[in-house]
Amino acid sequence: MKVWPGKPYPLGATWDGSGVNFALFSENATGVELCFFDDEGNETRIPVTQQTDQVWHIYMPEARPGQLYGYRVHGPYLPEEGHRFNPFKLLRDPYAKAIGGALKWDDSFFSYTIGHPDADLSMDERDSAPFSAKCIVIDSAFSWGDDPRPNIPWDKTIIYEAHVKGLTKLFPLLPEKLRGTYAGLASPAVIKYLGSLGVTAIELMPVHEFVHDRHLVEGGLSNYWGYNSINFFAPHSGYGSYRDVVAEFKTMVKTLHREGMEVILDVVYNHTAEGNHLGPTISFRGIDNAVYYRLVPDDRRYYFDYTGTGNTLNMTHPRTLQLIMDSLRYWVNEVHVDGFRFDLAATLARELHEVDKLGAFFDIIHQDPVLSQVKLIAEPWDLGEGGYQVGNFPVLWTEWNGEYRDSIRRFWRGDEGQIGSLAYRITGSSDLYESTGRRPYASINFVTAHDGFRLRDLVSYNEKHNKANGEENADGSDNNISWNCGVEGPTDDRAVLALRARQQRNFLATLLLSQGVPMIFHGDETSQTRYGNNNSYCQDNEISWVDWDLDHSQENLLEFTRFVIRMRKEHPVFRRQSFFRGRAMRHSNLQDVTWFRPDGEHMAEEDWNNPFSRSLGMLMAGDAIGEVDERGNPIVDDTFLVLINAHWEPVRFVMPPFRFLREGELFEGDWELVLDTRADTGRRPMRSLHPGKAYRLESRSLSVFRFRGGEAPASGPTGDGRRDRPVGEQKAAPGGKPREKTR
C-alpha cells in the first residue's frame, strides 16, 4: 500500500476525496502502528513513522470511506509510573467518527493477566483484535440543505428527556426494523406525538458510542442507559437501523429541526468505559494512560475516582481538554445539535482536587464562538468531596436543579415546613441563581429523570425494588422522597389509585407552571411504571421501555399534560425572563407576585415559618411582568391565581380582591377556574368566584384561576391608567417569600 507522511491535523481519520489522513496524539508512546482490517477480519499493520508535536500521522492515498481500522501503540508498560502501553491490544481512535459493531468480551482486552498474583502489574500478550469493534473511516458529506436551527429561547423551552430505544422500542406505528433506532425517533409517527405533546427540545440520553460492562453482559443484562462512553465523536452503533449510522443520526437531527424541535445530547466526558486499574484496555489507557486519566500523584498505578466508575478524565491536560472541545464542536458544526447536558459536570471543573467554577473547561467554552452559543446544561454534582455545586455554575450555564426536585417532592408528600422552599422553587430559585447574575431559566426544573423513580412510581412506592438488577436490592438511592399513598406497589383500591393519579397531576402542574425550564422524563406523561426500580440502568427490556398500550387513566394524564403545556406556552406569566420582585413594577402600581393565606390575607413572616402550613395562594399579575419581547414591545398577560394545598384535608380559600380600570372607571371582576388537578384532564365545568367568596380547595390538589373583568363598578378611581391592580401591598424577597407584611 502507498504510504505518505500525512499531517498532524486534524486528529482522527479524515477523508479528503483522494485519500485518508490519520493522526493520533500520544505524548509518551515510542511507536505507533495503524492497523487496517478487511471484512473477514484480516489485519494489515502499517508503521506510523512521522511525528509532529507528539502527534503521530500518516496519509494513505488508497484508503477509502468504509475502511475498518485501529491502532497498536508501543511504549513502556509500567503501571506504577502511570504507563500501560501494550501493543498486543488493538485500540480505538479517540477521534473515530463511527464504530463498526460491538466488542465481544474476552480476557484479551485486559493488559494484564487476569488471576496473576501481581494483578495489573503483570502483562498479557494475547491479541484483542479478533474481539474488538473496529473504527470506520467515514465520508462526512451530508445534504443538510436548508437546516435552520430552531434557536428556541430558554424561557420558551420545554425539555423532554428521552432514551432512543426506550421511547421507540414498543411504538405501535413503527415497523420492527425502525424500533429502537435514530430513524425510528425521526419517523412521522413519533414526531407527530412529540409535536402534539408540545415539547420544544428532546434531550437524548447518551448516544456517544458506549460499552456494555462485562459483568452486566455475563449476567444477562446491559448498560442500557449508556453512561459508559468510549468514543466521543461516534454515535452509538446499536441505535442504527442501517450501515451508515452517522448519516442516520444527521437525518434524525434534520427531521427534528424541520418540526421546530431542538436536539440536546447528554454527554459523558467525566470518565470512560475503561474503569479502574483492573479495567480493560480499549482506547485511552493504551494510547497514553498518564495523559488522559487523573492518576493519584503518590501512586500513579491508581486513578482518582470522582465519578463512581473507577476513573476520571484528566481535565488538567491541554490535550484532554482539546479532545472534549473538538468533540463538542464536531457535534455542533457537523451534526447540528443544539446543546449539551453534561453528566457529573462538577468533575469537569476540578482543576486540582477542589471544584473550581472558573476552571479552564468553563473558560474555554465561554470564549468559544460556537459552544458559547448553544444550550449548556450542567448536572451540577459528582461523587467527590465538595461535588454538590447546585447554583454555583457560571453565567451561560443552566443546571439540573436538584433542590427543586427535592423541595417539590417533600411538599406534595406533605412534609412539614416546606412552604418557604416551595415559594423559592416555583418562582425560579432566585436564592440559588440571582446572586451570580443568572435568570430564572438557569434552573432546569424536574421532578423525575432517568435516574430514580418514575413519576408513577414516586406516588406508588416508599421503597426501591431493584432485585432485577442482580445486586440484592443494594444499588440505587434509598432517599427517594416518595410516598405510596397508603399501599406499597400495585393495588385495586380505587381511593388509592385516585389519589395517586391526582398526585401525578399535582407534580406535573407544579412543574409546568413554575418559573424556569421544565423537563419531563419520557413516559411520565402517560403514567409509566418501572415497578419500583429506581436504578434501571441495566434493564434493556419492558421495565424501561415505554408501553404505548394506554388505558383510560393513562390517556387522561396525557391529555392533562398537553393541556398544561399549552397553558404555559400561551401565557408568558408562567415563564418569565426575570425574577419576581414582589413589589410594584416601574410605571405600574401592580405587584408582579403576591402571596396569600387561605383566609385571603397576605402571607406574613410567621406564616412562612409555620411548620404546619401546607397551603398558599400565589397571584401573578399579567400587567406587571415588566419585560419586553424580541421587538421591544411590553409583554402583557392575564392575571392568574394559583392555589396549592398539600394537606390531607380540604381548605376553604377566600378569593383575594383584584380591580381593573375600564374607560376611567374602576371595576371589580371574578376569578375563573381554568385548571383543577381533581379533574382527570385538569378541566372542570366553568366556574367563576367573586373576590371575598370562599373556594373549597380539596386535599392534595392544585387549582388555577384567571382574573376576568365583571360588570359591577367599584368605588374609587385608580389614577394609574393600568388595566389591573391588586388591592394591598407587600414587600417580598425577590421571587420568594415575603420579608414582612405591610398594609
pLDDT tens-place string over residues 664-674: 666 678 999 99
Ordered by start, the domain boundaries in the chain are: 579-742
Say which range, 20-34, 322-336, 384-398, 421-435, has the weakest mean pLDDT.
Answer: 384-398
Global pTM value: 0.94
Average pLDDT over residues 87-101: 97
Average pLDDT over residues 161-187: 97
Exposed (0-12), middle (13-18) or buried (19+): which is 53, by Cβ within 10 Å? Answer: exposed
Instruction: Report how far Cα 651 is from the mean position of its chain's Cα atoms.
Output: 36
Q: How far apart are CA 511 and CA 57, in angstroms?
A: 52
Say which residue, 242 or 426, is predicted with more confidence: 426
Residue 227, pLDDT > 70, answer yes
Contact 218, 244 (CB under 8 A): no
Residue 711, pLDDT > 80, answer no
Collapsing DSSP states into helix, strand and coil, what is residue 248? helix
> Residue with C-alpha cell 508512546?
29
Residue 583, pLDDT > 70, answer no
pLDDT of residue 352: 59
Kind and range of the H or E element at 185? helix 182-185
Q: What are phi and psi of 652, to 5 degrees?
A: -85, 115
Average pLDDT over residues 215-229: 97
Say which residue, 453 or 743, is predicted with more confidence: 453
Which of 155, 213, 288, 343 is catalytic? The answer is 343
Q: Choose which CATH entry (3.40.309.10, 3.40.50.10800, 2.60.40.1180, 2.60.120.1060) describes domain 579-742.
A: 2.60.40.1180
pLDDT of residue 362: 87
- Decide the pairing of beta strands 517-521 and 443-445: parallel
Average pLDDT over residues 554-580: 97
What beta strand segments (E) does 193-261 contain? 201-204, 208-210, 229-235
Q: How far apart are CA 661 and CA 724, in angstroms?
A: 6
What beta strand segments (E) does 66-217 contain? 68-74, 77-78, 83-84, 99-100, 134-136, 159-162, 201-204, 208-210
Residues 6+ apart with CB under 8 A from 414: 483, 614, 646, 647, 648, 700
pLDDT of residue 730: 36
Catalytic residue at 343? yes
pLDDT tens-digit readout, 356-378 = 665 788 889 999 999 999 999 99
Average pLDDT over residues 189-200: 98
Q: Running DSSP on this structure, what letter comes out for residue 3?
A: -
Q: How far apart are CA 81 and CA 302, in angstroms?
A: 10
Residue 720, pLDDT > 80, answer no
Residue 530, pLDDT > 60, answer yes
Asked if the bond preceding 10 is cis, omega within 30° of 0, the reply is yes
Q: Directed axis angle between helix 552-570 and helix 188-197, to 10°?
A: 60
pLDDT classification of 620: cutoffs 50, 70, 90 = very high
Residue 111, pLDDT > 60, answer yes
pLDDT tens-digit readout, 379-434 = 999 888 888 999 999 999 999 999 999 999 999 999 999 999 999 999 999 999 99
How many CB atoms are closer than 10 A to CB 175?
Answer: 10
Q: How far apart are CA 448 and CA 161, in angstroms?
A: 10
Q: How far apart are CA 639 and CA 593, in angstroms?
A: 10
pLDDT of residue 590: 65
pLDDT of residue 357: 61
Contact 279, 254 (CB under 8 A): no
CA dihedral sign of residues 245, 249, 255, 258: negative
Exposed (0-12), middle (13-18) or buried (19+): which is 551, by Cβ within 10 Å? Answer: exposed
Q: What are phi and psi of 249, to 5 degrees?
A: -65, -45
Q: How far apart are CA 678 and CA 701, in angstroms?
A: 6
CA dihedral sign of residues 248, 254, 256, 262: positive
pLDDT classification of 350: cutoffs 50, 70, 90 = confident
Half-sphere exposure of 141 (CA within 13 A, CB side): 5
pLDDT of residue 733: 40
pLDDT tens-digit readout, 174-183 = 999 999 999 9
pLDDT classification of 732: cutoffs 50, 70, 90 = very low
Residue 110, pLDDT > 60, answer yes
pLDDT classification of 597: cutoffs 50, 70, 90 = very high
Q: Which three cell numbers stand for residue 375?
A: 444550550
pLDDT of residue 728: 33
Q: How far apart are CA 567 and CA 563, in angstroms?
A: 6
Contact 313, 320 (CB under 8 A): yes
| H-state helical runs in 19-174 | 164-168
pLDDT of residue 582: 80
- Closest CA relative to residue 445, chosen from 373, 515, 506: 515
pLDDT of residue 383: 85
Contact 702, 656 (CB under 8 A): no
The residues with which 673 forms a beta bridge, in sequence order, are 705
Catalytic residue at 524? no
Say which residue, 739 or 45, is predicted with more confidence: 45
Portion of the chain with pLDDT greater than 70, in percent: 92
| Sequence letter at residue 20 | V
Q: How far apart are the first and last CA of the chain?
A: 89
- Closest CA relative to residue 107, chosen from 130, 87, 84: 130
Contact 508, 560 (CB under 8 A): yes
Average pLDDT value over all residues in the chain: 92
Say which residue, 695 or 688, is predicted with more confidence: 695
Which of 209, 305, 338, 379 is catalytic? The answer is 379
Average pLDDT over residues 342-357: 80
Residue 349, pLDDT > 90, answer no
pLDDT of residue 717: 33
CA distances from 707 to 206, 553, 698 (A): 44, 31, 21
Angle at 42 between CA 37 and CA 46, to 5 degrees: 55
